[in-house]
Structure 1
Amino acid sequence: MLQLCFGDSVKGSLTCAPHMGNTIGGATAVVLSSAKPLETPLQKAAFAVYRTLAAPFYKHRAQKEQARRCAEAVPVDYEPNDVLALLGGLNEGPVAGDLMSDARKAFVRTWLCFSPHGDAPASEADLEHYWQACQADLQALLTRAAAGEPVRIWCDFTPGSRCGLHAAAALLEEAPCEITVVEAPELETNGSVTRRAALGERGPYEMGALLKYERPLPAAERHALAARWRTLQAENAPLRAVVDGQLCSVPADFYDTAILSKAPAGSFLTARLIGKVLAECNLGIGDQLIYRRIECLVKAGKLTQVTQGSGPYENILRLP
């Protein structure tokens, strides 16, 4: 049975999920750092003692937590090579015509080759490798579905995932195969924080438990989703968003009000504003889209750049 998802993070978790019952060991990294340079011998000695005592404690705690999660993981019923990913990020950029069009590839280049902190971005060779992997997954999906192999679609209620579900329904509209959908809950609460339950934020050990949400995708719903996707392709808007439960074309500035509402008083780091929007607005969008809108807000004079950092996310901004 094919496992279709949208985005590399979800694909990675789904691919690892079949191994959760057999996990031996694992990798755990513990980083201890000081906010200020260690200048005196006493400071250096104290930090060395702290590092020696704290690192094993935190490492052991992390390993224990990982072991618990793996032990509690619900087994999945597929193999890693059954997992395929449709091209992600369809909520932003051009979607007219072929899913793997040149225009779509040019847009993918803008986010794949973006360097938020001034480090080395992905190269053109990295883009080609990624693009070819997406094409291979798409071809495998079409070939195996045409042969009648059942397809299970993993999705959530974020705009990118809803776009993926609609696009997949269009691709498989006439395929002679059964289709089911695993929809993660729209919102989940952890303590006092309620957020969109994005599949990309879940670990491999969480995937099996989501199978209880699996449901059939009837032919009528498949056709309705496909028809809606063709309408969105024809509109070819800059963005697509979920509005009142419906996937809609929206203008490029759709999220600007929410972004400005989270701008702190005084000067602030771009990364801080992005973090506040991600944590508090429940928009279901990624950091790069937020940053691109911040760029537009700066150009429009609705935000002012105070200083330029070593990378885009390190710029200092303020309200005008």
Structure 2
Amino acid sequence: MIEIVFSDSACGSLKAAQHFGEGKYQCGGIGVIVTHRDGSTPTRKELKAAQKEAEKRARIAWENATPLGGNAADIYGFNLAQSIGDISENQPGIKRKQTLERLYRTFPDDIGRQAVRKIFEKVNENLKTVQERSTIGESIRIWYSNQPDEICGLYWFLKQLNQWKVYGPVSVIKLPEWEIDENNNIVQKSSWGEVAPEEWHRYVSLQKPISPLLIQNCAAYWKELQGENAPLRALLNGKLVSAAETLYDDYILREIAAESDEFQEAMVVGRIIGKYRLGIGDSWIAFRIEEMIKEGKLEAISAVPEDMPFYHRMLKKCTR
């Protein structure tokens, strides 16, 4: 079965899920990040305790896991960020590449450009292989959610199938908007990239086939969105719609307003992602803040470390 996902993190997690829990657990190098809101450096004791706790959780997850099964070679990721930028091309081309390069420009030096080149090479290779396999009748399973890039990825991929005249067998699994875990806590995941390897098997029962008519309708609607070619696309009131580039600005401004006159931009970016769970990444938030700097609403007052994204700096509110 051909497995389709729409982010590198989902791709990696799904591949791990196929054999997660098989055999005896062997502890690998588990990295941890400990941060303090005030920016202070965590102590060695704090780091050691966090490391120990992470290793314990990893061992328990492995021992309790049910391997999903399958072959890693059947998993294809399309990390194209289709909710942002120009989508007028029928297949990933120069305009999609330019959008990705803009998003990856948050990274230092030439790291972003190199990352986009690798993404594009892999995406085009995957697309060619999936077309070859699907046109000879192999079944396809698509993992998607309400997260903007994943719902856009679904519509985009169904349009690819329609162009290839592939209408089945195709099935989808949609990530639930909320769940109750074993501790009776409500858990919300924004995308498949947030699903741990030991969790994937739980969702297989949600698989649903989709008809040729639905594939054609979704393809037609994606064509409409291509015609509108708005700066953004988002799910509003259950419908995927075109949107202005200012769509998320109110959330950004709200969090900036809660800060003192001088503040760490990275803290605001991280809080917006975690607090509102809008399904957008740090790059888009950073670019919108950059526009606010250009408009004179904010001012950068510190340099950015060479090895960090450009939003790792101090900002100051400008009064008029």
TM-score by length of 2: 0.85
Partner amino acid, structure 1, of 2:203:
L
Counterpart-to-counterpart distance in 1, 2:116 and 2:250: 33
Partners of 2:180 and 2:119 in 1: CA distance? 34
Cα deviations by residue, 1:143-197 (Å, 9 ceiling, x for unpaired): 1111110000011111110000001111112205311111111245789887553
Counterpart CA distance in 2 for 1:33 and 1:100 is 38
- Tell me whether 1:309 sits opposite 2:312 in the alignment: no
The answer to whether the Cα contact below 8 Å between 2:19 and 2:68 also exists between their aligned partners in 1 is no
Q: Does the C-alpha gap of structure 1 residues 226 and 261 become closer, same or farther in structure 2, counting only changes over 3 Å?
A: same
1:129 aligns with 2:124: no
In 1, the alpha carbon distance for the partners of 2:196 and 2:272 equals 23
Q: How does 1:110-189 map to 2 (within 5 A)?
A: 110-115=102-107, 119-122=108-111, 124-173=113-162, 174-187=165-178
Alignment of 1:1-320 (within 5 A): 1-22=1-22, 24-25=25-26, 26-29=28-31, 50=45, 55=48, 58-115=50-107, 119-122=108-111, 124-173=113-162, 174-187=165-178, 195-263=188-256, 264-266=258-260, 267-301=262-296, 303-310=297-304, 311-318=310-317, 320=319
Aligned-partner SS, 1:313? coil
| Alpha-carbon separation, structure 1, partners of 2:35 and 2:187 | 30
Q: Output the CA distance in 2 between the equivalents of 1:121 and 1:144.
A: 35
CA distance 1:280–1:58, shift in 2 (3 Å): closer
CA distance in structure 2 between the aligned counterparts of 1:111 and 1:137, rounded to whole angstroms? 22
C-alpha separation in 2, matches of 1:265 and 1:127: 34
The total of aligned residue pairs comes to 304
For structure 2, the residue ranges without an aligned partner over 5 or more in a row are: 305-309
Q: Distance in 1 between matches of 2:233 and 2:299?
A: 28
Shift of 1:282: 2.6
SS in 1 for 2:20: helix
Asked if the contact 1:10/1:199 (under 8 Å) is kept, the reply is yes
Structure 1 consecutive aligned stretches of length 4 or more whose deviation exceeds 6 Å: 31-37, 189-194
Distance 2:34 2:268 in 1: 25
Contact 2:104/2:113 (<8 A) preserved: no
C-alpha separation in 2, matches of 1:238 and 1:292: 13
Structure 1 length as normaliser, TM-score? 0.85
Q: 1:316 to 1:105 in 2, by over 3 A?
A: same
SS for the counterpart of 1:99 is: coil
Identical-residue share of aligned pairs (%) = 24
